[in-house]
Amino acid sequence: MKKNLVVFIISLFIIGFLFYFQSDLQKFYYSILREVTKEDHTLVKNEYYRDYDFNFVQNTNSLEPQNRKQLLNVFYTIINSGMDNFTFYCPESYSSCLTDVEDLANDPDLLSHINNFVHPYNGFNHIETQYDSLGKVNIHIQKSYSKKQIREINQVIDQLYNQLVVVGDSDINNIRRVHDYIINHTTYDSLRSDYNITTYRSDIAYGPLLQGYGICGGYADAMELFLEKMGIISYKISSDQHVWNAVYLDQKWYHLDLTWDDPVTTNGENYLEHTFFMIDTPTLLATELSEHNFNQSIYSELKEA
């Protein structure tokens, strides 16, 4: 009887000890886990990684953020790397880290804006963030493009590139030829935009380049893939209703909107316009404001003076 009582008391003591020091023990466990699994959480960059930065987000080598700005950079760097899964840890010194992670995970608009700065092939159509109370954060990314789609799109771009991009000609002329080709070979997918009827992959470059149909996301991606191959820095810029391209050329940033240069007509005729071809922000907003009223604090390269 006494032996059972002693065992019972010792058991209660152990349970109490573990409960009291649970947090410290868990933190110790994760500190060991971080070191043991260090190689599993090394960022691996694929061929579509962009090694340059933007005003709103920058690549970072420090994947333990110390503030919200650094947290945005961590998310951007992970997405930009092309990895499908990645785990990082919130440090104890960043007391509001998990709160900021939760806010970001529940802010699809902000995540979508961050997504606009990466190469289209590394962009996501779904991102899931999981985290626990000890600061372990796992990001799972579902890409917008399958490997098969990337292969097929790249084949088309390789076939067209020498035809459209002339060595020795100016960048602006080469961009114009690509702009004109995409518009002349693409029909705006009104059924998808107006009635949510999905027949084509018009929301990505596959639609314009292989199926002949696009909506704004597809036009912008198709153009950006050519700009990327030309070595011209660009990103997608979006408002609440629309997506188009921002292009850095001759040390200046310009707007390039193929969707609005391919107007939908009531008589079915096809038109090619250059109203939204490489224009500055004052010209853009003076020409059309309702769908182009973008957040100039996010896309600050194109901020009005």
185 with 298, same domain: the answer is yes
281-294 mean pLDDT: 97
Asked which of 143, 177, 195 is the last residue of a domain, the reply is 143
Query: What pLDDT is attached to residue 12?
Result: 57
134 with 202, same domain: the answer is no
Query: What pLDDT is attached to residue 37?
Result: 47
CB of 229 closer than 8 Å to CB of 157 = yes
pLDDT band for 129, please (50, 70, 90 cuts). very high
pLDDT band for 270, please (50, 70, 90 cuts). confident
Q: How far is CA 18 from CA 6, 22, 146, 196, 241, in A?
A: 18, 5, 47, 55, 54
* Percent of the chain topping pLDDT 70: 86
66 with 211, same domain: the answer is no
Place of tokens 């107007």: 263
Q: What is the mean pLDDT of the chain?
A: 91
Q: Which amino acid is at 261?
A: D
By C-alpha distance, which of 137, 139, 114, 141 is closest to 126? Answer: 141
151 with 258, same domain: the answer is yes
Asked which of 109, 143, 177 is the last residue of a domain, the reply is 143
189 with 258, same domain: the answer is yes
Query: What pLDDT is attached to residue 269?
Result: 76
127-153 mean pLDDT: 96
158 with 137, same domain: the answer is no
294 with 157, same domain: the answer is yes
Query: What pLDDT is attached to residue 26?
Result: 47
- Counting the structural domains of the chain, the total is 3
Q: Which tokens go with 130? A: 């999981």
Q: What whole-number distance in Å separates Cα of residue 242 and Cα of residue 203? A: 12
Asked which of 143, 175, 201 is the last residue of a domain, the reply is 143
Query: What pLDDT is attached to residue 41?
Result: 65
List, for residues 85-122, the tens digit of each pLDDT value: 999 999 999 999 999 999 999 999 999 999 999 999 99
183 with 261, same domain: the answer is yes
CA angle, 168 then 222 then 251, to 5°: 50
49 with 30, same domain: the answer is no
219 with 113, same domain: the answer is no
188 with 268, same domain: the answer is yes
pLDDT band for 42, please (50, 70, 90 cuts). confident
Domain interval for residue 161: 147-302
pLDDT band for 281, please (50, 70, 90 cuts). very high
Q: What whole-number distance in Å separates Cα of residue 41 and Cα of residue 44? A: 9
152 with 294, same domain: the answer is yes
B/e letters for 156-172, b = 16+ CB within 10 Å, e = fewer, are bbeebeeebbeeeeebe
* Percent of the chain topping pLDDT 90: 82
List, for residues 159-214, the tens digit of each pLDDT value: 999 999 999 999 999 999 999 999 999 999 999 999 999 999 999 999 999 999 99
Query: What pLDDT is attached to residue 186?
Result: 97
pLDDT band for 38, please (50, 70, 90 cuts). very low
Sign of the C-alpha dihedral computed for residues 224, 142, 114 and 136 taken in this order: negative
